[in-house]
Chain A
Amino acid sequence: MRTDAHHPDPDGFYEAWLDALAGLDAERAADLNARLVLLLANQVESPQVLLDCIAEAARTGTR
């Protein structure tokens, strides 16, 4: 799992993500995020990287 910053356009990605969620209620936004996770997961070759990302997401967060 990569955790170094290597995205060429972090602000652009953030904005595009928010734009996709704009106007959706919490349920539909959560549905979109779930589809997004599936699509992104399919870009990853390594099963171990996926498991590491799941574990890292579960471990982090401030609430």
Chain B
Amino acid sequence: MSAAAETFRFAAPYELPRWPFRAPPDLGAGERIRYSVVICGGGLAGLVLACDLGRRGIQAVLLDDDDTVGVKGASSRGICYAQKSLELFDRLGIWERIRAKGVTWSVGRTMSGADEVYRFDLADTSRSEQPPFVNLQQFYLEWFLVERILGDGVADIRWKSRVLAVENREDHAVVEVETPEGRYALEAEWLVDATGANSPIRNAMGLDIHASKSVDRWCISDVRFAHPPAMERRTWVDAPFNEGRAVWQHLMADDVWRLDYQMSPDADPESISRPDVVGARLRAQLGPGVDFEFVWIGPYQYRDHLLDSFRAGRTLFVGDSAHVVCPFGARGGNNGIQDSANLGWKLALVLEGKAGPALVDSYDHERRAAAVENLKVTARTARFLAPRTAEEHRVRRAVVDLARTHAFARKHIDTGRMAVANAYPPSPWSEAGARSVQNVAFDGTTVARALGEGGTRFLGLVVARDAAPALAALAPLEARWPVAFRAVDPRSPLALHLAVPEGALVLVRPDAYVAATLPDARDAAAAARALRAALALDAEAA
């Protein structure tokens, strides 16, 4: 059968906001000005850190070489934001905008041919005020963050400011910056490299990132439907409409869907991303009569890398500059966000003189461990989705075949293990390691809101029916260290989530991770020891 070739159209491009370059005081100043924190790069990780520090009263300078958000306009980037990120956005004050604009989801279905072979509902295990996931185009999130930062009026965002060179000195770094009105240099007590996967700062330092590139090839098609399909995440291990290869179907704001097609490893990137070729592929999936227009098309191969250390002298690496993993399970952008959430309070307390300088090293300890874990998890997904040999295909075939009828085999289906708040390994700062606390409501507030009040401080939760004796014993600590103690009813949802015995004290860090759990909340000396360790003040106390 022959038919006239269908023509496909593109949606009008998004109009993204632009912000003006303003000449900073450094231009024309006789001497270099020193700032406490300078962040290079206004992507997710950089903007989150600038916003978080600002809300902690620390004024950061953020240098961005562009004057807008997003990369290549409305192109592909992150789309899927995990609960731990959303809880942070609640504390930063942009959650309502994200909820209103984004798409909330919790159900994921994995298909083989026409059969469902795996299903999850992440809402089942959540007690948080925020849902497990919201999908939203990355540029919207960056847009909301910029407007929040400008509204707060603390951080100094410098648009059209390109970093030319960085030099690590003993107690600061020197940064050379190029602007439309000339060059200048500034000094940073702490320099944060958030310039992304191809970081020129990291590259100029000659740091090994242990990069590897996959042969697996994909093509993203972002598509707007007149009448969108069901609101659920779907993945196909082997889609009949894609020559038996994998397909991702994910929704975003504005009725735009991301359809991501696994291609043959030897496919030509240019031809597989031609609108007529992509359109024919979509038509095979959707059938005739479904009206759509393209928003963006892009072929890609994924890669990964990991820095040996996320700190080099006075320079700290966050987000893609430090680590890149295969794009499965939303473990890219969310971990850049969590890098900054981990770093922000530590820098703030060290700069305020309330924590020991060694606390900054806990950033590398904890976030590099998270990156190692994410690299392992995503590499396993990549291997499931792109078996390397006939025998690997055979094992996957056995799993998929059994999964049609056997629940146990479904657990082996791995089309992406969704991003979680990584637990942190034991450390000098947290003897038992640190695990995340969800943003659970309690006592007229929530964990995130309570952490957002009163400056950067820990939250000591006394889980007891009668918390008065413990609160009285602990009260003197509030004057010495950045901590506030609150009672939690042992029958409340928060106590059930914390899962500690009655009478315990749970010491929650400013990033909503448990620094320590102490069995007897009335033991103020034990609480003081745990706080000193968590604040890296042990050397001083000894």
Asked if A and B are interacting partners, one says yes
Q: Is A37 touching B408 in the complex (CB atoms < 8 A)?
A: no
B149-157, B170-178, B296-304, B393-401 - the one binding chain A? B393-401
CA distance A38 to B394 in the complex (A): 12
Interface size for chain B: under 10, 10 to 19, 20 to 34, or 35 or more residues?
A: 10 to 19
CA distance A9 to B440 in the complex (A): 55
CB-defined contacts of B412 to chain A, threshold 8 Å: 38
Chain A residue with the shortest CB-CB distance to B394: A34
CB-defined contacts of A30 to chain B, threshold 8 Å: 394
**What is the size, in residues, of chain A's interface with B at 8 Å between Cβ atoms?**
8
Q: Is B409 touching A34 in the complex (CB atoms < 8 A)?
A: no
The yes or no answer to B402 lying at the interface (CB within 8 A) is yes
Residue of B395, B398, B401, B408 ringed by the most chain A CB atoms within 10 A:
B398
CB-defined contacts of B394 to chain A, threshold 8 Å: 30-31, 34
Q: How far is the CB of B112 from chain A (nearest CB, A)?
A: 15
CA distance A61 to B408 in the complex (A): 30
CA distance A30 to B401 in the complex (A): 14
Which residues of chain A (9-48) have a CB below 8 Å from chain B? 30-31, 34-35, 37-39, 42
Q: Is A34 touching B408 in the complex (CB atoms < 8 A)?
A: no
Q: How far is the CB of B404 from chain A (nearest CB, A)?
A: 11
Chain A residue with the shortest CB-CB distance to B399: A38
Q: How far is the CB of A53 from chain B (nearest CB, A)?
A: 15
Chain A residue with the shortest CB-CB distance to B395: A34
Chain B residue with the shortest CB-CB distance to A30: B394
CB-defined contacts of A31 to chain B, threshold 8 Å: 394, 397-398, 401
CB-defined contacts of B399 to chain A, threshold 8 Å: 38
Chain A residue with the shortest CB-CB distance to B398: A34
Residue of A30, A31, A35, A37 ringed by the most chain B CB atoms within 10 A:
A35
Q: Which residues of B contact A (CB under 8 A)?
A: 394-395, 397-399, 401-402, 406, 408-409, 412
A-B contact pairs, 22 of them (CB 8 A): A30-B394, A31-B394, A31-B397, A31-B398, A31-B401, A34-B394, A34-B395, A34-B397, A34-B398, A35-B398, A35-B401, A35-B402, A37-B398, A38-B398, A38-B399, A38-B402, A38-B409, A38-B412, A39-B402, A39-B406, A42-B408, A42-B409
Top 6 nearest A-B pairs (CB, nearest first) are A34-B398, A35-B398, A42-B408, A34-B394, A38-B398, A34-B395
